[in-house]
Structure 1
């Protein structure tokens, strides 16, 4: 080896440190890029040359080379946002996106979850790539192959007929006894109190259902549920049609102990014994809710009488019913299981599709393709795709994963890289001076 070989060692150091500075510059440039993963340079010495000396054969290094540039997939911190479709991944997973202009021919992968629904109802990233996911079956299970996440913005959710009413009331124990019983043509004078609630049929239409309570003896009440006769087959509009009736029995403390002769407790009349399960309820007569609008004719409504009889004015404490009418889609959101939720105007949410995640055996070998996206490579391995809960990671809504660039660390690396570059330039200038001395030997 000659003196000139030191020049090439210095040049290799300049090239290696220049590449390292480029990596540092890229990291710092993306310090505020959502989902960005920083890179690092790994150097390796070049093949050494053998030289002979009095002590035997030795090796002299020939400089440095760039071994690899690794992507560091450490977890970034989260930023809270006000957008429900902003998603962040905790763990090793990636969102799967695909270019619709190519017919979603191949999938790419990203940690940047700044998604939104476009005008056509597709969930897309800022570059317009479709977020890929699974359709759901009737039981909410992911089925089929990956397909673009899409929601029909003009869809309806079907009605659900009312099947249950929870009625929490107190019936005044001091009410007068009406021994004649209930008369649907004269409900005011043949009942002591009443409560009304809207119920839904199978078409989503509402009907006013009223339950009248009549005290027929001490600790004994009669209940009668009615609807307008014009809404059921054979009835007359403006006249009440009885669709269910029965009795309520109370003990001397005012606690309800029987409904339609069925005990609420394992020992009849003993409220300290075990409650009967399932709890007896009042129920409309099967076939009486035969709506004239063409809705289902077999609707039956169960009324859970959570009723007391105390010496206090009759009052409805609370009442609610299940069932709902048809609804239009008013809002789309994503939950932490990756479910795309459609919120409808009738107040009912519905799971439409599910977002999976993909993870790789060697994510550092993924190919960067720009716009915060990666492509599979031969060294990365094939992706393992799964839904949340299958070990691919977790999703956080209203959140974005920030860049994992540590600016303080990058600046420290910048100092050492600059020093390394300067030191190698000094090797070149010093070697040049040595060569000049050799040339001067001729003079």
Structure 2
């Protein structure tokens, strides 16, 4: 069997090196494929038989098997597409394929696949699909709590539906009111001339008394708020001092807060309420006005109905929480450190979709609002080397790989892509060795054939 065994071994070597060449060829072809995992080649020997001791045994044939490199991460590169992402560490994106289009809408297959190819972009229906045609899956997030809804990931879809308006409920107000306001009426000598003009009277400011009011009050800033349907309302705040602290008579300073009516025919400014400060400049107490009531925590005014121009808002709170409204001496005589923030917004159109480093899909809207709409899970496996390779640099779970675990994995990196882990230089080195081994095996076949001819010619 010597010559025939040599031919048999050489032929097995040719077949094994051909398998190695095929893997090298595929790796080189996919050296630029996003998320591709190369296949290396492992050679194993088959003992052809022989004696019971080493001295009487001979080398056997060989066969080649493919070895997965799923655990070998490719280089990560930065990109400028907000929906592109890479995985730093272990794990796979959970994806599926489209099965059909019914009435213009895409339907999806029941099979689930797994990929490291994170080049996802939003299509016309709002789905995130990568270059290989796989649709990204994730957990939908509750808009109120931000927690995932359900335990099974679904195909991510960010539709063009506008974000509904949200009415303003709270205006966080901060300001320091001067001890002596520099109003138009203030003569610089008698502080009483800085008080609200007597002609204005108490309560709301009538249009007929608007000029007298403006001359005896100071600006408290302005802000745009939104009512229940998202209509903008420009709220202008003014303050008038109505009581001075007198060193000879122990009493506290009092200011009245007003809000512009926005052009009402009878009323120029609404009386929100009175605010009293002690001698240290800290807010001491509050008293309800014509439209305002003191809230339950006594650190702000609640306005049940506020009409500015032709627009009405309901249940708006002006909050002075954490001592944000003070009365410290100010040489300019104006309200300083004024800051107004509110929590409402108008309706908005979808303007963009991005993925953050926490693995959440973020929808951005034209009203400067952002919403986390999906959480992207990463699937890990007990034996990921046993995953079944499918088209498009993806994998399918097998009995040998185990079921996917969606509770762990590495870190999702936004605006990144994982490149192929096939290196051209390494593959070229393997190609040279494979070519030499293939050539050597072919020489053995040629030599064995000549030796066989010589053996047959001996009897001629």
| Smaller-chain TM-score bracket | 0.7 to 0.9
Q: How does 1:379-398 map to 2 (within 5 A)?
A: 379-386=400-407, 391-398=408-415
Q: CA deviation at 1:301?
A: 2.1
Q: How many angstroms apart in 2 are the aligned matches of 1:330 and 1:260? A: 46
Q: How many angstroms apart in 2 are the aligned matches of 1:237 and 1:5? A: 112
Residues 151 and 237 (structure 1 numbering): CA distance in 2 closer, same or farther, change over 3 Å? Answer: farther
Aligned to 1:246: 275
Name which of 308, 331, 340 aligns with 1:320. 340
TM-score by length of 1: 0.84
Q: How many angstroms apart in 2 are the aligned matches of 1:352 and 1:330? A: 14
Moved more, 100-109 or 24-33: 100-109
Moved more, 300-309 or 331-340: 300-309
Residues 12 and 351 (structure 1 numbering): CA distance in 2 closer, same or farther, change over 3 Å? Answer: same
- CA deviations 1:325-373 (Å, max 9, x no partner) are 2222222222122212121221111111221111111112211211121
Name which of 74, 91, 98 aligns with 2:72. 74
Q: CA deviation at 1:244?
A: 2.9
2:183 pairs with 1:156: no
Aligned to 1:199: 225
Q: CA deviation at 1:21?
A: 1.2
Q: How does 1:333-372 map to 2 (within 5 A)?
A: 333-372=354-393
Paired residues of 1:110 and 1:372 also in contact (CA < 8 A): yes
Q: How many angstroms apart in 2 are the aligned matches of 1:56 and 1:68? A: 30
Moved more, 86-95 or 137-146: 137-146
Q: CA deviation at 1:392?
A: 1.5
Paired residues of 1:78 and 1:400 also in contact (CA < 8 A): yes
Unaligned runs of 5+ in 2: 101-107, 246-251, 288-296
Q: Secondary structure at the match of 2:349?
A: strand
- CA deviations 1:10-46 (Å, max 9, x no partner) are 1111111111111111111111111111111111101
- CA deviations 1:164-214 (Å, max 9, x no partner) are 223345637473333456832332133244432222233323333333233
Aligned to 2:256: 223
Residues 354 and 295 (structure 1 numbering): CA distance in 2 closer, same or farther, change over 3 Å? Answer: farther
Moved more, 296-305 or 86-95: 296-305
Unaligned runs of 5+ in 1: 263-279
Paired residues of 2:169 and 2:315 also in contact (CA < 8 A): no
Paired residues of 1:97 and 1:107 also in contact (CA < 8 A): yes
2:282 pairs with 1:257: yes
Residues 151 and 319 (structure 1 numbering): CA distance in 2 closer, same or farther, change over 3 Å? Answer: same
- CA deviations 1:386-429 (Å, max 9, x no partner) are 3xxxx212111111101111222222222222222122122212
Q: How many angstroms apart in 2 are the aligned matches of 1:221 and 1:44? A: 94
Paired residues of 1:156 and 1:329 also in contact (CA < 8 A): yes
Q: How many angstroms apart in 2 are the aligned matches of 1:362 and 1:416? A: 30
Q: How does 1:137-216 map to 2 (within 5 A)?
A: 137=142, 138-144=144-150, 145-169=152-176, 171=178, 173=180, 175=182, 176=186, 177=191, 178-180=194-196, 183=200, 184-185=205-206, 186=209, 187-215=213-241, 216=243
Aligned to 1:276: none
How large is the RMSD of aligned CA atoms in angstroms? 2.9
Name which of 417, 423, 427 aligns with 2:434. 417
Q: How many angstroms apart in 2 are the aligned matches of 1:296 and 1:213? A: 21
Aligned to 1:273: none
Q: CA deviation at 1:134?
A: 1.3
Name which of 131, 134, 138 aligns with 2:136. 131
Q: How many angstroms apart in 2 are the aligned matches of 1:17 and 1:132? A: 40
Q: How does 1:259-298 map to 2 (within 5 A)?
A: 259-260=284-285, 283-287=300-304, 289=306, 297-298=314-315
Give aligned pairs, total. 412
Q: How many angstroms apart in 1 are the aligned matches of 2:28 and 2:348? A: 49
Q: How many angstroms apart in 1 are the aligned matches of 2:416 and 2:300? A: 48
Q: How many angstroms apart in 1 are the aligned matches of 2:26 and 2:302? A: 74
Q: CA deviation at 1:107?
A: 0.7
Residues 426 and 307 (structure 1 numbering): CA distance in 2 closer, same or farther, change over 3 Å? Answer: farther
Paired residues of 2:28 and 2:427 also in contact (CA < 8 A): yes
Aligned to 1:97: 95
Residues 416 and 259 (structure 1 numbering): CA distance in 2 closer, same or farther, change over 3 Å? Answer: farther
TM-score by length of 2: 0.81
